[in-house]
Structure 1
């Protein structure tokens, strides 16, 4: 596992949290609350928060909108990553991605295996990049959000984490757009 280089400055990241649910309100959004609490505790900035219904086009529209907002560096969505007919968050994310971070889902599955055994196979957590913004689709349970944050994202969204992290390459995520 990597390490934190205390000689480097911490760089807060601006993170938006999107909850995908047909049944939850903001007051009942425990998974969103988990992510907000953890990102703020880590020193990052909550740049936006919304709840949207399980509708692929609406989810993709919200993701696209946030990827075009220069005040948002990362989008964390929770919910809609399962196998049922209404679970369309992964498809919406993939509609938006320019590049998928395939290893994110793999590492999330490895982390989940330690907690819930073979039930981890039912998760379709995913990550990607669009318009210079990172996007991560997490399952809708608070436990899965804790696992994703505590075991992966807290490290990869910390500029001081070595040997490498997502933050250090942020300035180059949209370099292909600037060359035109």
Structure 2
């Protein structure tokens, strides 16, 4: 007999259209290794990429791209990387939180736990990874290093992406 979680995952969409947003003042399409890694992992798991943008670490630019994504029928999930640290210039978390309808605190908590346990020890407390819903979309904001992106994508986002969308969509289908 399947658990409720297994049942939910079996009912989840297998393809989720994702927008990749790299938040950086210095990266270009050629040097955006983390954005490229997100794209590769999504494609390997059968998720279409609806677009890939690089935006400066500016509150208004980040919220503007989130508003665009919220209005886009071709975007179901927004995956941001970068700007989640504690430097004065890091405003991704503040911009994302200002737009969220429901925050998923477990994403940041689990990301920091896994970072602590697997990679970086007590420096994990410097991460401010965050996730939540934006209307009928899901938003994940993760640090910009390739190691952090790989960890967030392989251990948290990809295993649950369809399940999250099933939960978001279930009110529509009921």
TM-score in same-fold range (> 0.5): yes
Residue 139 of structure 1 aligns with which residue? Answer: 143
Residue 148 of structure 1 aligns with which residue? Answer: 152
Q: Tell me how far 1:157 sits from its aligned partner.
A: 1.3
Secondary structure at the counterpart of residue 54 of structure 1 = coil
Quick check: 1:75–1:134 contact (8 Å CA) kept in 2?
Answer: yes
Residue 168 of structure 2 aligns with which residue? Answer: 170
Quick check: 1:131–1:174 contact (8 Å CA) kept in 2?
Answer: no
Quick check: 1:13–1:45 contact (8 Å CA) kept in 2?
Answer: yes
Question: Which consecutive unaligned segments of at least 5 residues does structure 2 have?
Answer: none
Q: Tell me how far 1:170 sits from its aligned partner.
A: 2.7
2:97 is the alignment partner of 1:94: yes
Q: Tell me how far 1:174 sits from its aligned partner.
A: 7.3
User: Runs of 4+ in structure 1 displaced over 2 angstroms?
Assistant: 2-10, 172-175
Give the TM-score taking structure 2 as reference length: 0.89
Q: Show CA shifts across 1:7-47 (max 9, x none).
A: 76862000000000001101100000110000110110001
Residue 21 of structure 1 aligns with which residue? Answer: 24
Q: 1:130 to 1:118 in 2, by over 3 A?
A: same
Q: 1:8 to 1:88 in 2, by over 3 A?
A: closer
Q: 1:4 to 1:40 in 2, by over 3 A?
A: farther
Count of matched residue pairs:
168
Quick check: 2:22–2:80 contact (8 Å CA) kept in 1?
Answer: yes
Residue 57 of structure 1 aligns with which residue? Answer: 60
Q: Tell me how far 1:167 sits from its aligned partner.
A: 2.5
Q: 1:6 to 1:139 in 2, by over 3 A?
A: closer
Q: Tell me how far 1:6 sits from its aligned partner.
A: 9.7
Distance of 2:104 and 2:77 partners within structure 1: 13
2:123 is the alignment partner of 1:119: yes
Q: 1:40 to 1:173 in 2, by over 3 A?
A: farther
Structure number with the higher helix fraction is: 2
Please, what is the CA RMSD of the aligned residues?
A: 2.2
Residue 81 of structure 2 aligns with which residue? Answer: 78
Secondary structure at the counterpart of residue 132 of structure 2 = strand
Give the TM-score taking structure 1 as reference length: 0.87
